[in-house]
Structure formats: C-alpha cells, structure tokens
Amino acid sequence: MRRALFPGSFDPLTNGHLDIIRRSSPLFDEIIIAVLNNPEKRPMFSVDERCEIIREILPSVHSNGCALTVDSFSGLTADFARQRGATAIIRGIRAIGDYEYELRMSLMNRRLQPEIDTVFLTAAEEYSFVSSTLMKQVFELGGRVDGLVPEAIISKMREKLADQGAGR
Ligand code: PNS
C-alpha cells in the first residue's frame, strides 16, 4: 500500500492543489489530503469547513484508482504522516521562490521521520502563480478568480464575504 500525505492550509483549495492531487494520484494507492489546524492564523474557512469543501470537490478529480481521503491535523506534519502510515509527503513547487522553503521543510521532515520522503511536483504552468492567499486577496477586493479556484468554492467564498459583511 503506497500511502502519501498532501499537507497544507487549503484556505481555500485551489485548482493548483487539485492539479497536484490529480497528477500525483498515479504514484500512490491512497493520498490523504491533510488540512493543518493552525490556531495562529485567522483563516477564511474553519478547518471543518475546509475539510467539508474538499470532500465535496474530490469526487470530480480523476484519481486513477487512487483513494483520496481528507483529514485534519495539528502539530508536526512528519508525525501525522507517520501516524497515518504514509511513506511520502507530497508538495507542489510553483516557482523558484518556493524551492528554498520547501527544501528546508523537506530536510527537516526527513530528519524528524527519516523513513518518510517528500515528493515534489512542479505546478502546471497555468497555476504557477496561484496561491490561496492571492486568491482570497483578489476575491475580497472584487477581482475574478474563476478558472483558478473551483466554482463551488467561489460560491462559498461569496457566502463567507456576505456573512462577514452582515456581521460588520
Ligand atoms: O499550504 P501551506 O500553508 O503552504 O502548508 C504548509 C504546511 C502545512 C505544509 C507546513 O506549514 C507544515 O507542515 N506545518 C505543520 C507544522 C510542521 O510540521 N512544521 C515543521 C515543518 S518542517
């Protein structure tokens, strides 16, 4: 059983994430999309909302028979990967700017759990500038993010913004 962990904040999931999931699926029997519960950040969506959203979207991914599951975690990614029996951590690299941070993370994760390796996939060109942070910022300022974030998630972002507006 080749099991991998794809960890991230996923606030929200973008088409760039979906592309990485789809392209890594032939390499594994199961990919656990692991949503980090980071109390230091003020996210747009709660961890439970993010997990629910991802679960709704995943059936649309052509996963080549690879099981796609969703879970949340707190603490160290390397420990959670080990706990869940994963032998690989998947990360996407968009541009050279990502490389240094990702390299440091992968080396630290390997030091923490030597039997777990990080598998890097380069982002598809059309998503190489896409990040959750940029998508939220553009959307909140009235810009369009269609084609970059799944339609169903854009609707949820719209609802979130309307709720926040009502609460102000
Ligand atoms: O989607 P992101 O924000 O780029 O994901 C970053 C993430 C969640 C992979 C990273 O912050 C992480 O692994 N955090 C968990 C805490 C941890 O393990 N830190 C040490 C990493 S070497």
pTM of the model: 0.96
CA of 168 to the centre of ligand 1 (A): 32
Tell me which amino acid residue 123 is.
A
What is the whole-number distance in angstroms between the Cα of residue 57 and the centre of ligand 1? 22
DSSP letter at 12 equals T
pLDDT tens, residue by residue, 16-53 = 999 999 999 999 999 999 999 987 778 999 999 999 99
Ligand 1 closest atom vs CA 11:
1
pLDDT in tens, 45-79: 999 999 999 999 999 999 989 999 999 999 999 99
Ligand 1 is surrounded, with C-beta below 6 A, by 7-9, 36, 76-77, 105, 108-109
Instruction: Give first-to-last CA distance, the chain, whole Å.
Output: 50
Active site residue 131: no
Six-digit token string for 110: 């390997």
Q: Pull the structure tokens for residue 137.
A: 């910022």
The question of whether 94 is a catalytic residue gets the answer yes
- The C-alpha atoms of residue 54 and residue 58 are separated, in whole angstroms, by 6
